[in-house]
Structure 1
Amino acid sequence: MSDKTDLLGRLSAAGVSIWLDDLSRERLQSGNLDELIRDKHVVGVTTNPTIFATALADGESYNEQVRELAARGASLEEAVRELTTADVRHACDKFRDVWQATDGVDGRVSIEVDPRLAKDCDATVAEALDLWKAVDRPNLLVKIPATEEGIPAITRTLAEGVSVNVTLIFSVERYRLVMDAYLAGLEQAKANGHDLRSIHSVASFFVSRVDSEVDKRLDAIGTDDAVALKGKAALANARLAYAAFQEVFAGERFAALAADGGRPQRPLWASTGVKNPDYPDTLYVDQLVVADTVNTMPEKTLHAVADHGRITGDAFVDTVTGTADAAGEVYAALERVGIDVTDVYLALENEGVDKFEKSWTELLETVQGQLDAAEK
């Protein structure tokens, strides 16, 4: 076990892979990412359109590449593709040693398909394969949203031997479809002659956004019973998801794939930055400590955990396994006070896709402005 003062080390030793939910060229060039890998047990990175929009809007480190793109008359779409894949490729190279040391489990960097394609299965698959080829690194994960149209796209992408990070998962029901899509993808990949040992996947289960949406509705209901349930939905949801993960990957269908080198699709706790200041800022890390998972954190949350995370006990304290019954009771109570759980998940999915589409538009506008400025 890691030193008691090394809270991130203890989290890692408990079987939780620590990934950073951010990437920028400044972070890559300044040595910041190297420092986080060396000192903070960071073994992977996730990105999304919002992260790239922020990075390109704030950073001057892209100027040289933008001038080069403008000089050769690159289109806006080409410029965005080259700017983002360059960062991801560079990050993949920084994590190459981690990737090798963990037999491909960690050392992963994620890049998301254009969010405007979330409702188009064929276009999502084509974009995923293009991104895989453009980055050209074995430790890449291509992010595909778990929309209804995204589910078959997951299977088809995996069938081509491409590793996938399934994103925007909010409900356990949808998560079960994601796991089924993963198993089907491995089965097809095997039939297509791919080495299953080289195919990896995580399922990004969003956490804090569930509390944000449910708490808002509980406040609107306003009864004592309703208010008493605030801050409980997200953790209960994640714990039910982990129980589903244990069930599926202990089953016969996966066992047959595992015999051929297939890997479990690990749950990834996403959206772990706490949005309600009344809650502990490490809540969605401390309370989701369980082996065979990933927790991708904003840097602020990462430092908070390093400073005062409640990774308690001299030995590993599992805060998830065996909690499914209690988590189910939370959801029964939510329904009794009038929360339409299905509507919550639908609203969150639609909001998630919409946010990323808006961020993508901001990214396009930022890059267009930079290209225009470089041409003057």
Structure 2
Amino acid sequence: MLTTQRQTVHLPGSEAYEALRKPLNAALDPRPAMVVEAYGVADVRAAVLMATERNLPLAVQATGHGTHTEANGALLLRTTAMDEVEIDPIRRVAKVGPGARWGAVIDAAAPYGLVPLAGSSRDVGVTGFTLGGGVGWLSRRYGFAADSVIRAQVVTADGRLVSTDEHPDLLWALKGGGGSFGLVTELEFRLYPVKQVWAGIIPFQGDYRALTEKAPDTLSTALIISPEGTKLKVMSTVPVEGFEAIPFREAVMGGTPARHLDFFTDLHDDVMEMAVEAGKEATVEIRHWGGAMAGHRGPVAAANASYSVIVSQALPGLAEAFGPHATGGSFLNFLADTGRTPDAFTGYERLAEAKRAWDPRGLFSVGHSIR
């Protein structure tokens, strides 16, 4: 084990290396050249320079939720310890480190009657979720988590520390374009005045398409079809009949693993029939998008979609069946196939230009990287 002033470098063969190299996905068994733990910005900069000197690609992991590719032969930077959370209730802004998780932000903002645009799990890392677009149960009302970003502090591929205040092109790329452009060491984003929500999961036998066509932007829903039956997930920022008001932090909505994902502009009868059929073997989640997400001006392709269909298993023939009706787009947070990375974006050439400008040598090339 090698150590610098605060930074710890773990090499193959050590106990810490074995523990820290693994992501959340148990199917992956990465063998990085080394694992580096960062405790501050100086450590991140040192890791970038070390990777450059040794001609190693650099991969980043905070919680491991967004890891889809094995970082074999790379320098794996763990930012888990950089989990600072600061709330400015006057400006309604949160400032977080790259290791922060949504649960910490939700809890810190709650005493001020504020909430972030978090996802379905408190354990997911804030930065990776947000850079990937970030869709949550308040997104129809307030937009993607990426839309709320107002500033980022970034360590670039050449080891510089820059602020997006001086680089609006970089800010645009980070608001849904992923982590191809630099290492975010500080993220600032807006919070919203939501003291309570009307939310829950109930049995459902109605017409989901009709329900969503009349739904206001204050209402987010998802239809869950599984061998156990059909249920409706609901979250609203205004009263909804049949649901009690609860604090946002207590609304446990959960999510469905995205083994298959397609986006649609409408729910064609054939799509609904295929979803019901798939729900006999797996869990199918049909989610209503649109609302404030449609106003997104960044690179997230899913901003153009009205619905997503997620299936918990990659059933035979499913992709071919849904394909003719789907948009062909994807969403970075839900996309495991790194060969389809461009499908998650609009304006891909603009992202590619930003990649060439900020990372011309391809240091940040592990996982969902812009080429």
Report the TM-score when normalising by structure 2: 0.25
Greater RCO, 1 or 2 (C-alpha within 8 Å, sep 6+): 1
Report the TM-score when normalising by structure 1: 0.25
**By percentage of residues, which structure has more helix?**
1
